[in-house]
Amino acid sequence: MREDIEFRTEDGVTLRGWHYAPDGATGPTPLVVMAHGFSAVKEHLLDDFAGFFCDGGLGVLVYDNRNLGASDGTPRGEIDPWQQVRDYRTAITWAQTQPWADPERIGIWGSSYSGAHVLVVAALDRRVKAVVSQVPLVSGLANARRLIRSDLFAATRQLFDADRAARYAGAAPQMMQVAWEKDPAEPAALPTQDTHDFFFGPIQDRAPNWRNEVTLRSVEMFVEYEPGAYIADIAPTPLLMVVACQDHLTVADLSLEYFEKARQPKELVALPCGHFEAYVGEAFAESAPRQLAWFRKYL
């Protein structure tokens, strides 16, 4: 069963999403808390993962990040990774007050940008009893240097500086496309072909409230974000990391490098696919059961 839910953060922003309850549940159940990655909303296939986990006996809380989708918050399109980390922890706090959640058996799930966040949350918050991090960002700066041509990196920093000066003078934050829409030469925060294909492909109609824009400041915060620095501190909380071996968005070799720094208990799922293929098809069929088994084992 799925129901609409909403809860308020400590600073008064309402976040909205869904709660999934397993069939036949009559009391508190283990719960997985989930949110999506950079600019994405819950309708971008999170319902497939949540439904699968729910069918496997877990409760699931899925919500849109602030400033995106169904959730409140301004400026719209602002993606602050540390605020999203705090909101994950608020979601856990709220869930622990609900009659359908077992407060001692809460896990967290994230993918791509939120795959980074759950690494940080699991290291900082011992209420988390298991974590699954799918195709995660592990180093903002190292990853940005893969996505932005070296001869354009200095110019990108100049854009950040100009936007900061303009905001200080009272201007609205500058906006930027998430994905190029018509021409690969268009400036975009995530300038890869598969990003375009994901957001403008067959699932586009599933997420009509998604907007192809973020603040330029969001991209600057992406470059500054180093979630992998926390990975060794997740233990003894169990970590399952899902890596797409052909991933060139959150590049696979960086994820594998940082996975080696994590301590036990940990497990790696290596999928022979690209970043967005991890959400669908054969990759989903391979990894989702292993993710469910991980949560069931530790929750």
Cβ atoms of 169 and 284 within 8 Å: the answer is no
Average pLDDT, the chain: 97
What residues form DSSP beta bridges with 59? 31
**Neighbouring residues of 155: CB distance < 8 A, sequence distance ≥ 6:** none
pTM metric for this prediction? 0.97
**Neighbouring residues of 13: CB distance < 8 A, sequence distance ≥ 6:** 66, 71, 72, 73
pLDDT tens across the length of the chain (299 residues): 999 999 999 999 999 999 999 999 889 999 999 999 999 999 999 999 999 999 999 999 999 999 999 999 999 999 999 999 999 999 999 999 999 999 999 999 999 999 999 999 999 999 999 999 999 999 999 999 988 888 888 999 999 999 999 999 999 999 999 999 999 999 999 999 999 999 999 999 999 999 999 999 999 999 999 999 999 999 999 999 999 999 999 999 999 999 999 999 999 999 999 999 999 999 999 999 999 999 999 99
**Neighbouring residues of 17: CB distance < 8 A, sequence distance ≥ 6:** 4, 5, 6, 42, 61, 62, 63, 64, 70, 71
Give the tokens for residue 157. Answer: 């920093």
Among 184, 208, 187, which Cα is nearest to 196's?
A: 184
Rounded distance between C-alpha atoms, residue 101 and residue 5, angstroms:
14
Rounded distance between C-alpha atoms, residue 242 and residue 292, angstroms:
13
Helix, strand, or coil here: 16?
A: strand
Query: Among positive and negative, which fits the CA dihedral 207, 213, 217, 221?
Result: positive
CATH class label, 2-140+225-298 = alpha beta
- Domain extents for the chain? 2-140+225-298
Please state, in angstroms and as integers, the Cα–Cα distance from residue 16 to each residue in 35, 65, 71, following that order. 11, 8, 5
Among 231, 188, 238, which Cα is nearest to 213's?
A: 188
Cβ atoms of 277 and 248 within 8 Å: the answer is no
Rg (CA), the chain: 18
pLDDT at residue 30, rounded to an integer: 98
Query: What single DSSP character describes residue 202?
Result: G
Helix, strand, or coil here: 185?
A: coil
pLDDT at residue 153, rounded to an integer: 86
- In sequence order, what E strands does the chain have? 2-8, 14-20, 29-34, 59-63, 101-111, 128-134, 175-176, 214-215, 239-244, 266-271
Rounded distance between C-alpha atoms, residue 73 and residue 9, angstroms:
10
